[in-house]
A and B are shown apart, each in its own frame.
Chain A
Amino acid sequence: MNIELGHFALVLAFALAVVQTCVPIIGGRMRSELLMRVGEPAAITGFALIALSFATLVLAYVQSDFSVLNVWENSHAAKPLLFKITGTWGNHEGSMLLWVLILSFFGALVAVFGRNLPLSLRANVLGVQGAIGCAFLLFILVTSNPFTRLSPAPMQGKDLNPILQDIGLAVHPPLLYLGYVGFSIAFSFAIAALIEGRIDAAWARWVRPWTLAAWMFLTGGIAMGSYWAYYELGWGGFWFWDPVENASLLPWLGGTALLHSALVMEKRSALKIWTVLLAILTFSLSLLGTFLVRSGVLTSVHAFATDPARGVFILAILVLFIGGSLALFAWRAASLSAGGLFQPISREGALVLNNLLLTTATATVLIGTLYPLLIEAVIGDKISVGPPFFNLTFGPLMLPLLVIVPFGPLLAWKRADLWAAAQRLFAAFGAALLVALLSYALVDQASVLAALGIGLGVWLVLGALTDLVFKSGLGKVPAAVAWRRLAGLPRSVFGTALAHSGLGLTMIGIVSVTALQAERIVAMQPGDTVEIRGHVLRFDSLRPFTGPNYTEDQALFVLTRTTGAERGTIVSSKRLYPARQMPTTEAGIKTLGLSQLYVSLGDKTPSGSLVVRIWWKPLVTLIWLGALVMMAGGAVSLLDRRLRVGAPMPRKAMAAAARGGNA
C-alpha cells in the first residue's frame, strides 16, 4: 500500500510541477500578481510530495519489502540497516528520485528564502525550476519507475552490489547531487533574467550564495567519491580520468568560473552577459553529467543498468534544456546592458584570466570525455582517451592559473599595480622556492618537476595567507590592532584565503603521491617481511572472519619502522558476499601523519603464498584535506554578512522592481 502512496505522490508532484512551470511565467507575462504568487506554494508542496514519495521508498528498503521490484533487485534482508537505507539510491531509479528530491528541495528553498526577490524574478525562477522538475519527474514516471510491484513477491532480495555497501554511498551521491542540482538555481536565475531582459548587480548578489553552496557540496562530493574509490577499489588510485569522474569535474570547473565571474558582476557590474552564459553552461554540464552517467553510454561502476529508452529520454531533456536556453540566450542576450570598463591589470582582469583558463580547461576535459563517444558514433572505431591525454592538455592549462591565483586577491579593482602585488608576494615566493629546493635536495625520488609542483602548492597556500597578512597590516601595526583589523575583515576574505590554500594543499598531495609514491608487489608467506620507505611490514597471519552478510579472509600485518619502533597493525582482507557470490578487496590503510601505507591483497600463488601489493603514499591525505579546506572556505564565505542579510539594492532599482512587480 505504502509504495502505491509514494507512486501517487510522485504523479501529483509531476502535475504540480506543470502548474509551477506554466502559471508563474504566464503570470509574469500578464503582470498578474495572483498568478505569479502560485509559484511558491507549488514549489513547497511539490517538495513535500516528492519527500513523501522518497520516504515510502526508503521505508520499503528498510522493511525489505521484496514485492517491490526495485527493492528486490537491490537489497537483501541480511544487509545492515545503514546499507538498506543508502541502497535506496544505490540504483538507477532510486538515484533519479534522489535527484528530483534535491531539485525540489532547492526550489522550495528559493520559495522560502527568496521573499526579498522582486516578485516577477521569483516567479520566473520558480517557473524554470518547475520546468526542470517536470522533465525529470516525467523521466522517472515513464522510464524509471522505482515503485513497480513484483508478483509473487520473492522471499529474498538479490542484494546490493558489494562495492556500494559502504559508508561512501551514504555521503557521496547526496553531496554530489546537492552540487549538480544546486547549479540549477543559477541556471533558473539566468533564464529568468533573460526572460525579463533585465539584469543588475543585485542579481549577481542573489545568485552567488546559491552557486557557492552548490560548489561547496560538489567539491565535497567529488572529494568523497575520490577517497571512496581510493580505499574501496583496492587499486590505490585517487583519480582515473574516468568519463564518469570527468562528468562531475566539468560542472565543478564551470561552477568555479561562475563563482569568480559573478564576483566581478556583483562588485563592478561588468561581465553580465558572460556570467549569464556561464550559469547556463554550468548547469548544462551538470545535465550532461547526468546524461553520461545515467544513460548507459558509458561503462563504469555508476552505470547501474542500461536501457536505451532512458538514454534517448535524457538526451531529449538535454537537447531541450541546453538548446532551449542557449537559443534564448542568443535571442535575448543583446537586450541585457553591457557592463563597466576596467584596465587589463586589475582584479577584474585577473578574474577574466581565471575564467579564460578555467573555461578552456573545461573544454579540453569535455573534448577528452566526448571524443570516444563521438568517434564510435561517427566512424565506429572504439578508442579510449586516458590519463595521458588529460595530463597533456588539462595540466598545462591549469598550471598558469595556479601560478596567478595568489595575485588575484592582492590586486585592486579597476586599476591595479602588478609590481606592488608582486612585491607583497616576495616572501611567499621565496618560501615556496626554498621548499622546492629542499624537497629536491632531501627527497631521493624527487624530480625537478615534482619539486616545482610541491613548491607551487606551497606558493598557493602562502600566497593566500599573504593576502590576510597585508589586509590586517600584521607586522606593520601593533599586534592588537592587526588582530582587530583581521577580525573586522569581511568573512569572504577569509573564505577566499581558505579556498585558495585548500587548492594548494590538494596540489601538494597530488604531486607528492604521483611523483614520490613507492610500490611493492610481493608474494608473501606468514612471517615474511617487506621493507618500504623506512617501514617494515611483517605478514603475521591469515584468519577467517564472518561479517553480517559476508565472509572474509583477513590478513594481519604488523608495521614497524626500520629503526624497530612499533607502528601498529594493518588488516587487509578479501571478502566474499554470498548473496551475489561476489568477492571484493578491502584495502588495509594505515595513516601515518599525512601519509598512508596502503595494503591490498591479491590471489594465492600455487605454492600457497599470498600476492600482496603495498604502496607508500606520501602526503596523500592532503588531496582530500585540501578539498575540505576548500569547502570550509565556501562555508565561511557563505556566512558573509553581505550575502546573509538579504540583498540590499540601490534605491532606484528597488523602486523599479517594486513598480515592475505591482503593475
Chain B
Amino acid sequence: MTRKQKRLAIIGGAVGFLAVATGLTLYALRQQTSYFYMPGDLEERPVAAGQRIRLGGLVEKGSILRGDDTHVRFAVTDGATSVMVTYSGILPDLFREEQGVVTEGSFNADHVFVADSVLAKHDENYMPKEVANSLKEKGVWQEN
C-alpha cells in the first residue's frame, strides 16, 4: 500500500467506526431517555401505561401506607393533583411526608404508578432540582 492508500484506509476505518458509534448513540437517546413529569403535567401530556418516566413532587401528607411486607404506597402531589405510587423495597433515609421526591417507573393498567426507584433529598437543604424548579413555577414553593 502506498502512503496515501494507507492513510485512506485508516481514515475510512475511523469514519466507519464513528458512524457505528453515532448510530448507537442516536438509537440509545431515542430509546433510553426518560422524561420528567409532575402530577399536573400528566393531564396535559398523558403517558401510556408501560412507558418509563420519572415522576416528581411532594409526598402527600397522610398518604404513606406501609404494608406488612416490603410494599409501600404513597401519593406524589404538586399541590393540585396527586398520583398514587407503589414501591417495593427500602425507601431512602430522608423519605418523609411533604418532602420532595423523584420516583422512576411506569404506570400499570390501573393508573397506579409502579416505581422501581425512589430518590429523596440528600440533606435538609437539598431538594431534587426538577422538583424544586417545578414547584417554584407553580408557585407552591416556600423559601425557608
Given contacts A234-B90, A585-B93, contact A382 B68 (CB under 8 A): no
Whether the Cβ atoms of A356 and B17 lie closer than 8 Å is yes
A371-397 with Cβ < 8 A to chain B: 371-372, 381-386, 388-389, 392-393, 396-397
Other-chain contact of B70, A371, A521, A580, A601 (Cβ < 8 Å): A521
With contact pairs A299-B128, A585-B93, A602-B91 given, residues A389 and B66 touching in the complex (Cβ less than 8 Å):
no
Residue pair A605, B90 in contact (C-beta under 8 Å): no
Number of A-B contacts (CB under 8 A): 124
Whole-angstrom distance between the Cβ of A537 and the nearest chain B Cβ: 16
Contact of B140 with A by CB under 8 A: no
Using Cβ atoms and an 8 Å threshold, which residues of chain A touch B88?
521
* Interchain nearest-CB distance for A215 vs B (Å): 23
When the two chains form their complex, are residues A613 and B89 in contact, meaning their CB atoms are under 8 A apart?
yes
Which chain B residue shows the least CB distance to A381? Answer: B35
B49 within 8 A of A: no
B23 to chain A: closest residue by CB: A393
Most buried by A among B14, B36, B122, B126: B122
CA separation between A585 and B12, bound complex, in Å?
Answer: 53
From A352, A392, A611, contact of B90 by CB (8 A)? A611
B 1-29 binary contact with A (CB < 8 Å = 1; else 0):
00100100110011001100100110111
Residues facing B in A334-367 (CB within 8 A) are 341, 343-344, 352, 356-357, 360, 363-364, 367
Given contact pairs A364-B24, A611-B90, A383 touches B34 in the complex (Cβ within 8 A):
yes
A606 touches B66 (CB 8 A): yes
Chain B residues whose CB sits within 8 angstroms of the CB of A248 once the complex forms: none
Q: Which residues of B contact A363 (CB under 8 A)?
A: 21
- Nearest B residue to A353 via CB reads B13
- B27-58: contact bitstring with A at CB < 8 Å (1 yes, 0 no)? 11101111110000000000000000010000
Q: Which of A372, A580, A582, A603 has the most CB of B within 10 A?
A: A603
Contact A580 B124 (CB under 8 A): yes
Residue of B nearest to A305 (CB): B125
CB distance from B134 to the nearest CB of A (A): 8
Residues of A contacting B122 with CB < 8 Å?
161, 163, 300-301
Q: CB-CB < 8 A to B67: which residues of A?
A: 605
CA distance A397 to B18 in the complex (A): 10
Q: Are B123 and A163 in contact (CB under 8 A)?
A: yes
Distance between A516 CB and nearest chain B CB, rounded to angstroms: 20
Name the contact of A605 in the complex, choosing from B21, B69, B123, B128 (C-beta under 8 A): B69
A596 interfacial contact with B, CB 8 Å: no
B79-94 contacts to A (CB < 8 Å):
88-91, 93-94
Would B25 and A583 count as touching, CB distance under 8 A?
no
Is B21 in contact with A392, judged by CB distance below 8 angstroms? no
C-alpha gap A605/B65 in the complex (Å): 10
Contact A392 B32 (CB under 8 A): yes
Cα distance, A603 to B88, chains bound together (Å) = 12
B97 within 8 A of A: no
Cβ–Cβ < 8 Å partners of B94 in chain A: 582-583
The reply to whether A383 and B33 form a contact with Cβ atoms under 8 Å apart is yes
**Contacting pair A385 B32 (CB below 8 A):** yes
Q: Cβ of B89 and Cβ of A606 under 8 Å apart?
A: no
Q: B10 — which chain A residues lie within 8 A by C-beta?
A: 344, 352
Contact with A along B55-76 (1 / 0, CB 8 A): 0000000000011111000000
Task: Identify the closest chain B residue to A364 (Cβ).
Answer: B25
A364, B21: Cβ atoms closer than 8 Å: yes
**Cα–Cα distance between A388 and B27 once the two chains are bound (Å):** 11
Docked complex: A596-620 residues within 8 A CB-CB of B: 600-603, 605-607, 609, 611, 613
Q: Is the CB of A382 within 8 A of B29?
A: no
Tell yes or no: A632 within 8 A of B by CB.
Answer: no
B129 interface hit (Cβ, 8 Å) = yes
Residue in A356, A357, A360, A385 whose CB lies within 8 Å of B29:
A385
CA distance A78 to B126 in the complex (A): 23
CB of A389 within 8 A of CB of B14, answer no
* Most-contacted residue by chain B among A583, A600, A602, A606 (CB, 10 A): A602
Contacts of A48 in B (CB 8 A): none
A584 within 8 A of B: yes
Chain B residue numbers with a CB within 8 Å of A364 are: 21, 24-25
Asked whether, in the complex, the Cβ of A521 is within 8 Å of the Cβ of B89, the reply is yes
Q: Do the beta carbons of A360 and B69 come within 8 Å of each other?
A: no
Q: With A and B bound together, what is the CA distance between A385 and B104 in angstroms?
A: 12
Please tell me if the beta carbons of A583 and B93 are within 8 angstroms of each other in the complex: yes
Docked complex Cα distance between A356 and B32 (Å):
25
Please measure, in the bound complex, the distance between the C-alpha atom of A234 and the C-alpha atom of B70, giving whole angstroms. 16
**Residue contact A613 to B90, C-beta cutoff 8 Å:** yes
Name the A residues within 8 Å of B35 (CB-CB): 381-383
In the complex, whether A523 has a CB less than 8 A from a CB of chain B is yes
A584: which B residues are within 8 A, CB to CB?
93
A360 B124 Cβ-Cβ under 8 A: no
**Identity of the chain B residue whose Cβ is nearest the Cβ of A355 in the assembled complex:** B14
Q: Are B90's CB and A360's CB within 8 A?
A: no
- Of B25, B29, B31, B91, which contacts A603 at CB under 8 A? B91
- Give the Cβ gap from B37 to chain A, nearest Cβ, in Å: 9
Is A367 a contact partner of B32 (Cβ separation < 8 A)? no
In the complex, which residues of chain B have a beta carbon less than 8 angstroms from the beta carbon of A404? Answer: none
**Chain A residue contacts of B129, Cβ below 8 A:** 298-299
* Contact A602 B90, beta carbon cutoff 8 Å: yes
- CB contact between A360 and one of B18, B68, B70, B89 (< 8 Å): that residue: B18
For the complex, give the distance between the alpha carbons of A600 and B124 in Å: 22
A449 within 8 A of B: no
> Is there a chain B Cβ closer than 8 Å to A522's Cβ?
yes
Q: How far is the CA of A299 from the CA of B130 in the complex (A)?
A: 9
User: Bound complex: CA of A364 vs CA of B17, how far in Å?
Assistant: 13
B59 to chain A, nearest CB (A): 13
Contact B123 A611 (CB under 8 A): no
**Separation of A305 and B126 alpha carbons in the complex (Å):** 9
Query: When the two chains form the complex, which single residue of A298, A360, A385, A605 contacts B17, counting CB atoms closer than 8 Å?
Result: A360
25 contacts between A and B (CB under 8 A): A300-B122, A305-B125, A343-B6, A344-B10, A364-B25, A368-B28, A381-B35, A382-B130, A383-B35, A383-B36, A384-B34, A384-B54, A385-B33, A386-B34, A386-B104, A389-B29, A393-B28, A521-B70, A580-B124, A581-B124, A582-B93, A584-B93, A606-B66, A607-B68, A609-B68
A-to-B contact residues, CB < 8 Å: 161-163, 234, 298-301, 303, 305, 341, 343-344, 352, 356-357, 360, 363-364, 367-368, 371-372, 381-386, 388-389, 392-393, 396-397, 521-523, 574, 580-585, 600-603, 605-607, 609, 611, 613
The 8 closest A-B pairs by CB, nearest first: A602-B90, A382-B36, A388-B32, A299-B129, A392-B28, A389-B32, A583-B93, A383-B33
